[in-house]
Amino acid sequence: MTADRRKRHLKILELISTRAIRTQDELAEALAAEGWDVTQSSVSRDITSLRLIKMNGVYRRPRATAAPIDPDLRRIADGVLTVEAAGEALVVLHTPPGEANRVAVALDRLAWPDVVGTIAGDDTIFLAVKDNPAQRRVMGEVRKLTADPAIAVNVVLPERVDTGLRRLRGPRAVAIKRCLLFEPHVILSSVPTRA
C-alpha cells in the first residue's frame, strides 16, 4: 500500500467518524473537498479494504461480536492497517500515527518463533524474520488477526459539552474528536446541541 493510499484511508476514517456519509459519491465528494483526487471505483476499493459497513444508512467501522482475545493479539488486530513484504526476510506493518510502538511491544511479547526482532517508528514497524517461508507465515498470521474485527466502542461527543463552568466548543471539541479518532475501534458520532 502506498503512503498516499494509507493517508487517504486515514482521511476516510476521519470523515466517516465526523460526518454522516451515506453513499460512495458523498464520500468521493468529501474527499475531493479535502483535496483528494479520487474516483468512485477507488472509493469502492477503499471501503472494501477498510471493511466499512453501513449502519443506519451511514458508513461506519464494523462492530465486533467476537469473544475477548489476548490483549497483545487485540493490540495487533486493532493497530495494524497494512502488511507488506520487503525483500525475503522483512515484513513491514503500517499502523495509525503513534501506534507502532504499542503494536511492536505486543509482537515482542508474543515471541513468535519466526520473528527475529522488531523496530518501530511512529506508524511503521519492521519485522525481521528468519527466512522467506517465515515471512509468509508471519504475514499470514498478522493478516488473519486483522481480518477479524475487534470490539468497537461508539463515542458520542456533543458539539458543546457542559462540564461545570467549562464549555468545550469549536476547536476544542474538534481536538478531542481528533484524539479519539485514532484510538483503536472507536466510532465517533457528533451530536449538535442547543445553546
Residues 44 and 108 in one domain: no
Q: Nine-digit cell at 40?
A: 468512485
Kindly indicate the confidence band of residue 131, based on its pLDDT and cuts at 50, 70 and 90.
Answer: very high
Q: Nine-digit cell at 179?
A: 484524539
Q: Is residue 28 part of a domain?
A: yes
Residues 134 and 86 in one domain: yes
Using CA atoms, how far apart are residues 77 and 124, in angstroms rounded to an integer?
15
Residues 24 and 56 in one domain: yes
Residues 94 and 119 in one domain: yes
Instruction: Say what the pLDDT of residue 156 is.
Output: 47
Residue ending a domain, among 41, 60, 79, is 60
Instruction: Say what the pLDDT of residue 159 is.
Output: 43
Tell me how many domains the chain contains: 3
Q: Is residue 49 part of a domain?
A: yes
Kindly indicate the confidence band of residue 64, based on its pLDDT and cuts at 50, 70 and 90.
Answer: low
| 41: CATH | 1.10.10.10
Q: Is residue 65 part of a domain?
A: no
Share of the chain above pLDDT 90, in %: 32
pLDDT of residue 162 exceeding 50, the answer is no
| 111: CATH | 3.30.1360.40
* Domain span at 79: 71-147
Mean pLDDT computed over 120-137? 94
Q: Nine-digit cell at 17?
A: 467518524
Mean pLDDT for all residues in the chain: 77
Residues 177 and 158 in one domain: yes
Residues 55 and 8 in one domain: yes
Using CA atoms, how far apart are residues 72 and 58, in angstroms rounded to an integer?
31
- 67-76, 97-106, 145-154, 181-190, range with greatest mean pLDDT: 97-106
Burial code of 141-156, b = ≥16 C-beta within 10 A, e = fewer? bbeebbeebbebeebe
Instruction: Say what the pLDDT of residue 81 is.
Output: 85
Residues 127 and 186 in one domain: no
83, 146 contact by CB (below 8 A): yes
